[in-house]
Amino acid sequence: MRVLVTGGAGFLGSHLCDYLLKRDHEVVCMDNLITGNIDNISHLSGNERFSFIKHDVTEYIFLPGKLDAILHFASPASPVDYLELPIQTLKVGSLGTHKALGLAKEKGARLLLASTSEVYGDPEIHPQTEDYWGNVNPIGPRGVYDEAKRFAEAMTMAYHRYHGVETRIVRIFNTYGPRMRLNDGRVVPNFISQALSGKPITVYGDGTQTRSFCYCSDLVDGIYRLLTSEVDTPTNIGNPTEFSIMEFARKVIEITGSGSELIHEDLPVDDPKVRRPNIGKARELLGWEPKIELDEGLKKTLEYFRSRVS
């Protein structure tokens, strides 16, 4: 296949580029580098099946030649990013998705939308299943990301139903691994960088809120299975093993051998109290479930972060 990956210089986008190239596909990576990093794809520069285009997907996308699939991953994806870039986040979820779907329609390509567990908001059911409509505050500070993704899902399904575009929607739960930014703002890079620097580890609230953590290689495998499947409705991909933030902080301290203390700060507005995917649909229809345990994944991530923390 010839595949376009929007946001391809980002954390997950770059891992997708690697995965596709290893399966002998041709990859066009598109990114405006607002939150992506060219270093994430620099190792691919000599690959004749890889090309990079610096472009803002909220503008018209021109791509000559055939195209079989689009993986639409362009978007700020961490609280730090979308709180600093609220308008850009809303635009890429709406205008960017519209442009990507227009390209898919023109080329007869299949489009996979990277959605998020944030469409469930601060959930009132646990674990979260794909038929849950969510509990989202549309005017809160996190609403710029949550509602951008919810709109993107609605737009994707509209193109699927009205124009007959082949579409897939993945709802991604917390994912971690190499190439995350140190200042990403998400819990994994926050805790690891603080631990490696010997700084206090910042736990928001009392730390009883929960998250589940999926290693990037597991997630990318699930995304590819969804792309090549016949499942055209939203599908959760994530790790169903759940940890409290306090448990996770202690695990990071243990694995890094850090002497960092734990300090508490106020919980951010609308921060979800629980987050855990029900992956029954992915297990049944895609034959997928995560394989990398948290300790193993954290050790792999730690190797990457050690070289970047002074």
- What total of structural domains would you count in the chain? 2
**Hey, what amino acid is at 212?**
S
Is 79 part of any domain?
yes
**Percent of the chain at pLDDT exceeding 70:** 100
Host domain of residue 196: 177-211+241-275+292-306
Is 214 within 8 Å of 173 (Cβ atoms)? yes
Instruction: Give 245-295 pLDDT, tens digit per residue.
Output: 999 999 999 999 999 999 999 988 888 999 999 999 999 999 999 999 999
Whether residue 197 sits in one domain with residue 142: no
Rg (CA), the chain: 19
Asked if pLDDT for residue 160 goes beyond 90, the answer is: yes
- What average pLDDT does the chain have? 96
Residue 284 lies in a domain: no
Q: Do 44 and 140 reside in the same domain of the chain?
A: yes
Q: Tokens 């635009």 sit at which residue? A: 91
pLDDT at 185: 84
> What are the two backbone dihedrals, phi and then psi, of residue 110, each rounded to the nearest 5 degrees?
-85, 135
| Catalytic positions | 145
Least confident of 155-164, 229-238, 258-267: 258-267
Indicate whether 286 belongs to any domain.
no
| CATH code of the domain covering residue 262 | 3.90.25.10
Question: For residue range 84-143, what is the model confidence (pLDDT) as tens digits?
Answer: 999 999 999 999 999 999 999 999 999 999 999 999 999 999 999 999 999 999 999 999
Q: 56 and 193 in one domain?
A: no
pLDDT over 90 (residue 18): yes
- Summarised one tens digit per residue, pLDDT across range 196-219 is 999 999 999 999 999 999 999 999
Mention every residue, 6+ apart, whose C-beta is less than 8 A from residue 267: 204, 205, 209
Q: Are residues 132 and 195 in the same domain?
A: no
Helices (H), the chain: 11-22, 79-84, 86-91, 97-107, 143-162, 187-197, 216-227, 245-256, 280-286, 294-306
Do 233 and 125 share a domain, yes or no? Answer: yes
Tell me what the mean pLDDT of segment 133-156 comes to: 97
* 138 within domain boundaries: yes
Neighbours of 298 (CB within 10 A): 25
How are beta strands 242-244 and 26-31 bridged, if at all? unpaired
pLDDT for residue 310: 61
Is 205 found in the same domain as 135?
no
Domain-embedded: residue 162: yes
Look at residue 93 and tell me if it is in a domain: yes
Cis check for the bond before 240: say yes or no (omega within 30 of 0).
Answer: no
